[in-house]
Structure 1
Amino acid sequence: MRKIEIDDEVFAYLQRHSEPLVDTPNDVLRRELLGKNPDAEEEVRRPGALMFIIEAELAAPGDKLQHHQPRRQRTHESTITADGWVELADGRAFPQPSPALKAQTGSDINGWGQYIHLPSGRRLQELREEAQHRKAQTN
């Protein structure tokens, strides 16, 4: 086994993404970087942030998301996966929309506020708020 040094910011990230008293830092890195559960042979990943929107039937796996940058004359598309992740055309997948959009644009952008869900024509933020509202009504 090899040893690496990490700075405080990376260690804080590992702590935020670990299950206390269960995960080691290596488990978190393996899951985050490789999409693998340390206790399983096959790839396993947690549901993405869009899963509750799928469960509220406001979006479906395979639906396209789009962000247009008018000044740069670029349009970025991605796809919602069955487990609620955002998948880019190059195959990279992200559990949250903002890191996915950052990977496409190179800038920190609020993916919830900027991605348009093409089937509905609505921003992800609107779908998230509606899903939260529906969940609150059922509780």
Structure 2
Amino acid sequence: MRSIEIDDEVFAFLQSRCEPLVDTPNDVLRRLLLDGSDLPRSAVATRRPGDLMTLINAGLLKAGDRLVHVQPRRGLTHEATVTEDGWLEIEDGRAFPKPSPALKAQTGVDINGYGKYVLKEDPEVRLQDLREQIRKGA
């Protein structure tokens, strides 16, 4: 048997899905990761809403909206799709709850995703602009 370390948030998640005094953390992980298809929908883990959920709720973004970041000197364009739960799904299928980690996965460097991602349909509008509209109460 192997050992892994998990943080407090992950441990609390596992505890919330276990039967007290019966399940071990391994039992919960086994059910969620290997046997999840046999569980009722309510028992299958769902992810928390991503940061873009605020923009979706405000009507400024919607699921399926495409975001892009262009690196002209490298000749690269990176795209991401907004999901129903406010996450960003990048070209390789990975999903991220925040724009900056998504953009880092695409570019390989730390970049402010809010400042660099723009709407594909309106390249003049950055995620940062949409966030500012909410802060200003618009």
Length-normalised TM-score, structure 2: 0.71
Gaps of 5+ in 2: 16-24, 37-41
For 1:41, the equivalent position in structure 2 comes to 43
- The residue number in structure 1 matching 2:39 is none
Root mean square deviation of aligned Cα: 2.8
TM-score by length of 1: 0.71
- 1:1-139 equivalence runs, <5 A: 2-4=2-4, 14-15=7-8, 18=9, 22-23=12-13, 41-121=43-123, 122-134=125-137
- Alignment: residue pair count: 116
Gaps of 5+ in 1: none
Q: Secondary structure at the match of 2:48?
A: coil
CA drift of 1:129 comes to 1.3
Q: Which runs of 4+ in 1 moved over 3 A?
A: 21-27
Letter in 2 for 1:123: R
Determine helix, strand or coil for the equivalent of 1:2. Answer: coil
The one-letter amino acid paired with 2:100 is S
Return the index of the structure with the highest Cα Rg: 2
